[in-house]
Amino acid sequence: MSRPDDIIPRELQDLVAAACDGPLSDRETERLEELLADSAEARRFYLLYLHLHGELHWHQAMADETPDLAAPSAEGHGLRIPTPTFARPKPDRISRLRLIGFCASALVAVILLVLAYRAIPERQRPPSPAPPELLASATLADAVQPRWAAGSAAPAIGQPIPLDRPLVLERGAVEIAHGRNARLLVEGPSTFRYLPGGRIDFESGRATFIADEPPDSLIEVGGATIELTRGKVGVSANGGRVEVHALEGEAVIRRVRSESDRFQETEMKLTGRTAIAWATGSADPPQTMPADPAGFATALPDRLPSHSVAMMREIVANHPRLIHQYTFEGTSRLEKCQDKRGSLHLTEAVMVGGRGRGSLDYTARGFDLTTEAIRPHREPVDGNENGTALQSEVVFRPLEAMTIELLLRYETPEDANDETVALAVATRDGERACGFFVAAVGENHLSLLLDGQADWVETNTTLAAQHWYYLAVTLKAGEEKTTVNAYLVDLAGGNRELQQVLDNREVPGVPATSRLGIGKGFDYAGAHAYPWSGELDEVAVYDAVLGAAELQTHVDALRAGE
Amino acid sequence: MSGSERDSDQKGELFARLLGRCQRKVFLYALGLIHNAADAEEVLQETNIVLWRKFDEYEPGTSFESWACRVAYFEVLKYREKTARERRVFSLELVETLAAEAEKVADEFDDRRDALQGCLTKLRDVDRKLVLNRYRPGATTRGLAEAAGRSVQGTRKSLHRVRMTLLECIQRTLTAEARR
Q: What is the mean pLDDT of residues A507-515?
A: 95
CA A149: distance to chain centroid? 16
pLDDT at A77: 31
Question: What is chain A's alpha carbon radius of gyration, rounded to the nearest angstrom?
Answer: 28
pLDDT at A273: 83
- CATH of A309-559, picked from 2.60.120.200, 2.30.42.10, 1.10.3720.10, 3.40.50.170, is 2.60.120.200
B148: nearest CB among A69, A86, A357: A86
Question: d(Cα B32, Cα B28) in Å, to the nearest integer?
Answer: 6
B31: nearest CB among A54, A90, A93: A54
Distance from CA of A153 to the nearest CA of B (A): 17
pLDDT of A67 > 50? The answer is no
The pairing of beta strand A433-441 with beta strand A372-375: unpaired
Q: What is the mean pLDDT of residues A414-428?
A: 92
Cβ contact B101–A48 (<8 Å)? no
Q: Which amino acid is at A46?
A: Y
Q: Where are the domains of chain B?
A: 3-105, 109-179
Question: d(Cα A461, Cα A468) in Å, to the nearest integer?
Answer: 14
Cβ contact B160–A14 (<8 Å)? yes
Distance from CA of A538 to the nearest CA of B (A): 22
Cβ contact A347–B96 (<8 Å)? yes
pLDDT of A61 > 90? The answer is no
Cβ contact B37–A40 (<8 Å)? no
Q: HSE-up of A547 (CA within 13 Å, CB side)?
A: 2
Q: Say whether residue B176 is in contact with chain A using an 8 A CB cutoff.
A: no
CB < 8 Å from A in window 117-136 of B: 117-118, 120-122, 125, 128-129, 131-136
pLDDT at A184: 92
List of chain B residues whose C-beta atoms are within 8 Å of the C-beta of residue A49? 163, 167
Q: Which residue has the higher pLDDT, A128 or A339?
A: A339
Residue A75 — pLDDT band, cuts 50, 70, 90? very low
Distance from CA of A476 to the nearest CA of B (A): 31
List of chain B residues whose C-beta atoms are within 8 Å of the C-beta of residue A355? 84, 88-89, 91
Q: Which residue has the higher pLDDT, A363 or A151?
A: A363
Cβ contact B32–A40 (<8 Å)? no
CB < 8 Å from A in window 65-124 of B: 70-71, 74, 77, 80-81, 84-85, 87-98, 101-102, 105, 109, 112-113, 116-118, 120-122
Asked whether the beta carbons of A308 and A285 are under 8 A apart, the reply is: no
Kindly identify which residue of chain B lies nearest to residue A331, measuring between CA atoms.
Answer: B54
User: What is the percent of chain A where pLDDT is above 90?
Assistant: 35
Q: What is the mean pLDDT of residues A221-248?
A: 84
pLDDT at A479: 92
pLDDT at A86: 23
A60: nearest CB among B136, B166, B171: B136
List of chain A residues whose C-beta atoms are within 8 Å of the C-beta of residue B1? 118-119
Q: Say whether residue B24 is in contact with chain A using an 8 A CB cutoff.
A: yes
pLDDT at A488: 96
A43: nearest CB among B101, B140, B175: B101
CATH 1.10.1740.10 fits B3-105, yes or no: yes
**E strands in A384-508:** 387-396, 401-410, 421-428, 433-441, 445-451, 457-462, 468-477, 481-490, 499-508
Q: Which amino acid is at A125?
A: R
Residue A443 — pLDDT band, cuts 50, 70, 90? confident
List of chain B residues whose C-beta atoms are within 8 Å of the C-beta of residue A78? 117
Q: Which of A6-10, A402-406, A475-479, B83-87 is the least confident region?
A: A6-10
Question: d(Cα A478, Cα A142) in Å, to the nearest integer?
Answer: 56
pLDDT of A198 > 70? The answer is yes
Cβ contact A103–B45 (<8 Å)? yes
Asked whether the beta carbons of A486 and A466 are under 8 A apart, the reply is: no
Asked whether the beta carbons of A457 and A447 are under 8 A apart, the reply is: yes
The sign one gets for the Cα dihedral B31, B33, B34, B40 is negative
List of chain B residues whose C-beta atoms are within 8 Å of the C-beta of residue A354? 80, 84, 89-93, 95
Q: Which residue has the higher pLDDT, A118 or A300?
A: A300
Q: Which residue has the higher pLDDT, A134 or A288?
A: A288
pLDDT at A298: 82
pLDDT at A377: 94
Asked whether the beta carbons of B100 and B94 are under 8 A apart, the reply is: no
Considering A4-13, A237-246, A392-401, the range whose residues carry the highest mean pLDDT is A392-401
A134-295 fold: Jelly Rolls (2.60.120)
Q: What is the mean pLDDT of residues A376-394?
A: 90
- Rounded to the nearest 5 percent, the helix, strand and coil shares of chain B are 80, 0, 20
Q: Tell which of B130, B163, B172, B175 to mutate to test the A interface (max A CBs under 10 Å).
A: B163
C-alpha closest to that of A193 among A223, A161, A225, A145: A161
Q: Which of A102-111, A243-252, A373-382, B17-26 is the least confident region?
A: A102-111
Q: Which of A25-34, A534-543, B171-180 is the least confident region?
A: B171-180
The sign one gets for the Cα dihedral A507, A510, A512, A513 is positive
Average pLDDT of chain A is 80
**E strands in A212-299:** 218-221, 224-238, 241-255, 267-271, 274-279, 287-290
Cβ contact A103–B48 (<8 Å)? yes
Residue B145 — pLDDT band, cuts 50, 70, 90? confident
The answer to whether ipTM exceeds 0.90 is: yes
B5: nearest CB among A3, A89, A118: A118
DSSP labels, B99-162: HHHHHHHHTTHHHHHHHHHHHHHHS-HHHHHHHHHHTSTT--HHHHHHHHT--HHHHHHHHHHH
Q: What is the mean pLDDT of residues A374-379?
A: 94
Kindly identify which residue of chain A lies nearest to residue B155, measuring between CA atoms.
Answer: A21
Measure the N-to-C terminal CA separation of chain A; round to a whole number of Å: 67
Question: d(Cα B86, Cα B39) in Å, to the nearest integer?
Answer: 13
pLDDT in tens, B44-100: 988 988 888 888 877 777 788 888 888 899 889 888 888 887 788 888 889 988 988
pLDDT in tens, B94-119: 998 898 888 888 778 888 988 998 89
Asked whether the beta carbons of A227 and A218 are under 8 A apart, the reply is: yes
DSSP labels, A40-57: HHHHHHHHHHHHHHHHHH
Cβ contact B167–A48 (<8 Å)? yes
Cβ contact A89–B137 (<8 Å)? yes
Considering A258-262, A329-333, A548-552, the range whose residues carry the highest mean pLDDT is A548-552
Distance from CA of A211 to the nearest CA of B (A): 40
B109-179 fold: Arc Repressor Mutant, subunit A (1.10.10)
- Any residues with CB less than 8 A from the CB of A319 and at least 6 apart, and which? A540, A542
pLDDT of A311 > 60? The answer is yes
Contact pairs from chain A to chain B, CB under 8 Å: 252
pLDDT at A398: 95
pLDDT in tens, A472-495: 999 999 999 999 999 999 998 777
Q: Which residue has the higher pLDDT, A520 or A558?
A: A520
